[in-house]
């Protein structure tokens, strides 16, 4: 019996060898076909025939780990070119492949969600990222994009929730941004007059970011609402002392509370000191604007003209010319000042007051978050 087994051994070996050879040949042929298809598809892409390329890529029955990467890149390329429909087709096809490794499946899902996000289909994108977070125990990238979605939807409660989840996963500190979300909520409630909720959100914002200037501004708004202008003025001035760019946001509020207190001189003195300390041309512009506004009751301050001479500010120069104009009715100099004012005003009409330091986007109003690159605290 043992001899017979020994005689059968070469046969078994031969049969195994034949099977392995067949499998190898099949795999080689599949690889060749895959590689041929890739080349064919890429050629279609180079010929600007993306639909034919898609047909070739999507109809291939097998995808290995290398081609999966190519598919991901292909889909992302379509998205970056603004061809979101095609990107969605590629990524959806990839997700449906059962042989895909877990990591690649996650990458494909992320890309699929990004496609919906790029297409502005925020609810679909939210669904994809929520599923990812659930199944991949809080994927960091999914949390980040989900946060952007909630920012766009202005769903600040959910934005806070997902930021905390992101903090836990990545170890990054989002306390400053979370404070902004609380401040957004506080602003909404202040608009509705829900003072109790405003106080609660301000407290949460302060807990999240102790040195937030936006919190000071909101506390000032709240004091102003409670008809306590002296307190409001102190808080606004504290915020501007910390960050002089806030003058662009608070100029009207400062005037309102100062008028209530009947003390414009105090505000002018504050601006003078601030200008010496910061050399910020916006402070000078505001000081000139304030002087012009109260020119009837108040003489032109000593030193203001000298300060305007130090800075290359067209806006401050226009203010000074207008101040000179006031004393020169129906004179030749008055007509010259008028001409200059008109030209400068026309020039300034096309200028934007604020810009984002991160992306360079220009805007007319101060915003806490840049509408173009969506970064916080980059506008001045």
Report the DSSP beta bridge partners of residue 356.
379
Q: How far is the CB of 360 from Zn ion (least distance, A)?
A: 7
Query: Of 272 and 357, which CB lies nearer to Zn ion in the complex structure?
Result: 357
Q: Does 358 bind Zn ion (CB under 5 A)?
A: yes
Pick between residue 309 and residue 360 the one whose CB is nearest to Zn ion: 360
Pull the structure tokens for residue 60: 């291939």
Cα of 311 vs its chain's centroid, Å: 32
Q: Which is nearer to Zn ion, 72 or 370 (CB)?
A: 370
Which H or E run contains 355?
strand 354-355
User: Bridge partners of 369?
Assistant: 376
What's the longest Cα–Cα distance across the chain?
131
Residue 318 CB, nearest approach to Zn ion (Å):
28
Site stretch for Zn ion (CB under 5 A), options 237-245, 327-335, 346-354, 360-368? 360-368
Place of tokens 């941004």: 177
Q: Is 359 in the site for Zn ion (CB under 5 A)?
A: yes
CA atoms within 13 A on the CB side of 150: 23
Q: Residue 362 phi/psi, 5° resolution? A: -105, 145
Shortest distance, CB of residue 286 to Zn ion, whole angstroms?
24
333 or 359, CB closer to Zn ion? 359
151 binds Zn ion (CB under 5 A): no
53 is a contact residue toward Zn ion (CB under 5 A): no
99 binds Zn ion (CB under 5 A): no
Residue whose CB is less far from Zn ion, 232 or 379: 379
- Binding string, 234-273, against Zn ion, x = CB under 5 A? ----------------------------------------
268 by DSSP, 3-state: which?
A: helix
Q: What angle do CA 36, 41, 47 make, to 5 degrees?
A: 130
* CB neighbours of residue 165 within 10 Å: 19
* Least spacing, CB of residue 377 vs Zn ion, in Å: 11
For Zn ion, which is the closer residue by CB, 223 or 377? 377
User: Is 373 among the residues that bind Zn ion (CB under 5 A)?
Assistant: yes
Q: Give the C-alpha separation, 202 to 204, whole Å.
A: 5
Binding string, 301-340, against Zn ion, x = CB under 5 A? ----------------------------------------
Residues in the chain, how many? 380
Site for Zn ion in 338-357 (CB under 5 A): 356
The residue whose two tokens read 């997902």 is 162
For residue 73, the minimal CB distance to Zn ion (Å) is 27
Nearest to Zn ion of 120, 360 (CB atom): 360
Task: Specify the residue, 127 or 371, whose C-beta has the smaller distance to Zn ion.
Answer: 371
Helix/strand/coil percentages in the chain, nearest 5: 75, 0, 25
Relative to beta strand 354-355, strand 362-363 is: antiparallel
361 binds Zn ion per the rule CB under 5 A: yes
Distance between CA atoms of 246 and 236, rounded to whole angstroms?
Answer: 9
As a whole number of angstroms, the distance between CA 256 and CA 90 comes to 57
| Sole window of 79-87, 192-200, 245-253, 371-379 interacting with Zn ion (rule: CB under 5 A) | 371-379
Chain residues binding Zn ion by CB under 5 A are: 356, 358-359, 361, 370, 372-373
């Amino acid at each position: 019996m043992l001899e017979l087994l020994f005689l059968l051994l070469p046969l078994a070996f031969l049969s195994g060898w034949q099977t392995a050879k067949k499998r190898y040949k099949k795999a080689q042929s599949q690889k060749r076909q895959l590689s041929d298809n890739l080349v064919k598809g890429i050629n279609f892409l180079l010929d600007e025939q993306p639909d034919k390329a898609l047909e070739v890529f999507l109809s291939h029955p097998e995808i290995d780990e290398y081609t999966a990467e190519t598919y991901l890149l292909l889909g992302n390329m379509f998205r970056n070119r603004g061809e979101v429909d095609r990107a969605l087709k590629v990524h959806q096809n990839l997700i449906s492949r059962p042989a895909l490794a877990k990591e690649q499946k996650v990458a494909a899902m992320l890309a699929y969600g990004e496609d919906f996000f790029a297409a502005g289909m925020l609810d679909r994108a939210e669904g994809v990222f929520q599923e990812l977070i659930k199944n991949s125990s809080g994927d960091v990238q999914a949390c980040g994009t989900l946060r952007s979605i909630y920012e766009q939807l202005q769903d600040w409660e959910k934005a806070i929730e997902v930021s905390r989840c992101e903090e836990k996963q990545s170890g990054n500190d989002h306390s400053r941004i979370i404070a902004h979300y609380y401040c957004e909520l506080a602003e909404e409630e202040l608009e509705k007059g829900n003072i109790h909720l405003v106080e609660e959100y301000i407290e949460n914002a302060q807990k999240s970011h102790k040195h937030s200037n936006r919190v000071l501004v909101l506390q000032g708004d709240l004091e102003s609402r409670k008809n306590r202008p002296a307190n409001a003025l102190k808080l606004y001035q504290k915020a501007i002392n910390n960050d002089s760019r806030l003058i662009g946001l608070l100029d009207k509020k400062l005037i309102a509370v100062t008028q209530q207190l009947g003390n414009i001189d105090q505000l002018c003195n504050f601006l003078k000191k601030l200008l010496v300390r910061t050399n910020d041309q916006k402070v000078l512009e505001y000081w000139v604007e304030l002087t012009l506004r109260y020119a009837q009751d108040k003489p032109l301050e000593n030193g203001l003209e000298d300060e305007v001479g130090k800075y290359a500010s067209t806006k401050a120069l226009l203010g000074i010319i207008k101040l000179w104009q006031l004393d020169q009715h129906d004179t030749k100099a008055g007509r010259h000042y008028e001409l200059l004012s008109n030209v400068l005003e026309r020039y300034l009409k096309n200028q934007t007051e604020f810009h984002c330091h991160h992306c360079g986007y220009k805007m007319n109003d101060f915003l806490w978050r840049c509408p173009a690159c969506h970064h916080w605290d980059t506008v001045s």
